[in-house]
């Protein structure tokens, strides 16, 4: 099988196939052809997907369904009715839910065809792309490199043309970082915009449902479908579905738009090439009328507060039942659970208070700016088999552990809930993608996509596809 010379968007899939079954079958064939080299999927739903596609072909209402026949993937920590949901862990290898996320149901009801569940590190606990259950997932641009995490398979799949829409989660980096590393779009929307109705802590949740796509139009289309309140998620109540796709028809005027560029946000080092690519992207916005302010002052790294809350979440939600089981699990995840078990109530309360303080700080930023821009990662070129405690090399020098220093710009906005989008900013000299993070006011998700569309038009990325090395 030859690798596709172009990767279709959801709109192209829908418009270009008279038969949904044919298009879905071709997508499934591409998944199977790349599984040995990329390992993007935990479970491939061939029989179910083909049956669904045939039903769409026979549906007299097909034309009214916005995703009719479009393949989509679901990260394997999002529950899917009748399809196993493993969280990347041997402890849940055979777990088959009898319910599913409302976001999955909404994609199905819109005519989308779920082709499978994508890989992730165990319990979505790492910025890297391997788990004890599924092994290593690889970056389609260079299979020696990681696609990032925790939405590892989702980003690799979208980049490689293995389904144009991926439903993901983002607890602290998990959608934006792999999207940047794989050269695609990754959205962490405003908290509650996409309901996370099965998350145990409905009120204190900082884990967002997210989306990965290749094009801004696909992102807008998917967001329109999955957004809007669900009464089981208190953070979503009162929130209407977006109308982002329609809004893209009205270009965002950049004249007078204020952008604040923060190349450092809890870190002190940044790769020169990454910075140059991000700043070149911002320069295109300035050329169209935007005003750019640069803020390089030190900012407290939010990782300490985030880590307390995330490890507490792991300890409450998941279990390490005994020492024998612990030996089959990711050691870093086990260590995180055990660290949480030693937390005091005062330490947890302090982290909750600190989260509120971060929110108020970021809210205040938007008194003086319309958008905040940061890099997504501090450097490129992390190996597919790297460990989280491996040194990250930035400008040819060790800069600390990968897990702490690769994406310091990201978890702050999980704590605050503001919408954040990773946008492709170009490729380094060695052919690896770089992403620019754009952050907006709470509930500005539609305008955030309109801003991304300006970038997409000025420096298109959709016609560049990974090399044939992704096919076995």
Catalytic residues: 75, 150, 174
The Cα–Cα gap between 472 and 470 comes to 7
Q: How far is CA 173 from CA 51, 193, 228, 412, in A?
A: 35, 18, 23, 10
Is the distance from CB of 302 to CB of 266 less than 8 angstroms?
A: yes
Among 472, 387, 357, 371, residue whose Cα is nearest residue 419? 371
- Give me the half-sphere count of Cα atoms (radius 13 Å) on the Cβ side of residue 396: 0
Inter-residue contact 146 to 139 (CB < 8 Å):
yes
How far CA 229 is from CA of 102, 119, 193, 403, in Å, comes to: 10, 28, 7, 33
Strands 258-261 and 291-294: parallel
Q: Which residues contact 423 (CB under 8 A, 6 or more apart)?
A: 185, 281, 435, 436, 437, 438, 452, 455, 456
* Rounded-to-integer distance, Cα 128 and Cα 125, Å: 9
Task: Collapse the DSSP code of 421 into the 3-class scheme (helix H, G, I; strand E, B; otherwise coil) and give the result.
Answer: strand
**Which two structure tokens, joined as six digits, stand for 144?**
């020696």
Ramachandran angles phi, psi of 347, nearest 5°: -65, -40
């Amino acid at each position: 099988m030859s690798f596709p010379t172009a990767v279709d968007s959801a709109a192209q899939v829908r418009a270009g196939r008279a038969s949904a079954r044919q298009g879905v079958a071709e997508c499934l064939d591409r998944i199977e052809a790349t599984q040995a080299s990329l390992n993007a999927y935990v479970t491939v739903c061939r029989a179910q997907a083909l049956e669904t596609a045939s039903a769409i072909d026979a549906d007299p209402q097909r034309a009214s369904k916005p995703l009719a026949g479009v393949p989509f993937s679901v990260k394997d920590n999002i529950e899917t009715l009748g399809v196993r949901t493993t969280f990347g862990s041997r402890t849940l290898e055979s777990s088959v839910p009898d319910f599913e996320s409302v976001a999955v149901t909404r994609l199905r009801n819109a005519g989308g065809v779920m082709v499978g569940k994508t890989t992730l590190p165990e319990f979505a606990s790492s910025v890297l792309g391997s788990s004890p259950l599924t092994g290593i997932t690889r970056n389609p641009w260079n299979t020696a490199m990681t696609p990032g995490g925790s939405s590892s398979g989702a980003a690799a799949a979208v980049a490689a043309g293995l389904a144009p829409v991926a439903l993901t989660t983002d607890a602290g980096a998990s959608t934006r970082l792999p999207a940047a590393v794989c050269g695609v779009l990754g959205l962490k929307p405003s908290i509650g915009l996409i309901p996370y109705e099965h998350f145990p802590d409905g009120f204190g949740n900082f884990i967002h449902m997210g989306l990965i796509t290749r094009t801004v139009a696909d992102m807008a289309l998917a967001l329109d479908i999955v957004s809007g309140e669900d009464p089981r998620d208190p953070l979503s109540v009162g929130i209407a579905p977006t109308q982002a796709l329609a809004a893209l028809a009205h270009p965002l005027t950049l004249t007078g738009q204020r952008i604040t560029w923060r190349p450092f946000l809890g870190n002190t080092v940044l790769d020169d090439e990454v910075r140059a690519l991000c700043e070149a992207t911002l320069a295109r916005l300035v050329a169209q009328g935007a005003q750019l302010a640069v803020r390089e002052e030190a900012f407290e790294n939010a990782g300490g507060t985030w880590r307390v809350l995330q490890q507490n979440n792991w300890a409450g939600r998941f279990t390490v039942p005994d020492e024998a089981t612990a030996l089959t699990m990711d050691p870093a995840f086990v260590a995180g659970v055990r660290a949480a078990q030693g937390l005091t109530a005062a330490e947890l309360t302090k982290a909750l208070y600190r989260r509120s303080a971060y929110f108020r700080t970021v809210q205040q930023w938007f008194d003086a700016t319309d958008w905040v821009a940061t890099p997504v990662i501090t450097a490129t070129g992390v190996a597919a088999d790297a460990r989280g405690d491996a040194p990250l090399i930035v400008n040819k020098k060790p800069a600390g552990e990968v897990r702490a220093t690769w994406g310091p710009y990201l978890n702050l906005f999980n704590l605050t809930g503001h919408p954040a989008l990773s946008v492709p900013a170009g490729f380094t000299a060695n052919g690896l993608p770089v992403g620019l993070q754009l952050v907006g006011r709470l509930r500005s998700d539609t305008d955030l996509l309109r801003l991304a569309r300006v970038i997409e038009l000025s420096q298109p990325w959709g016609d560049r596809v990974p090399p044939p090395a992704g096919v076995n």
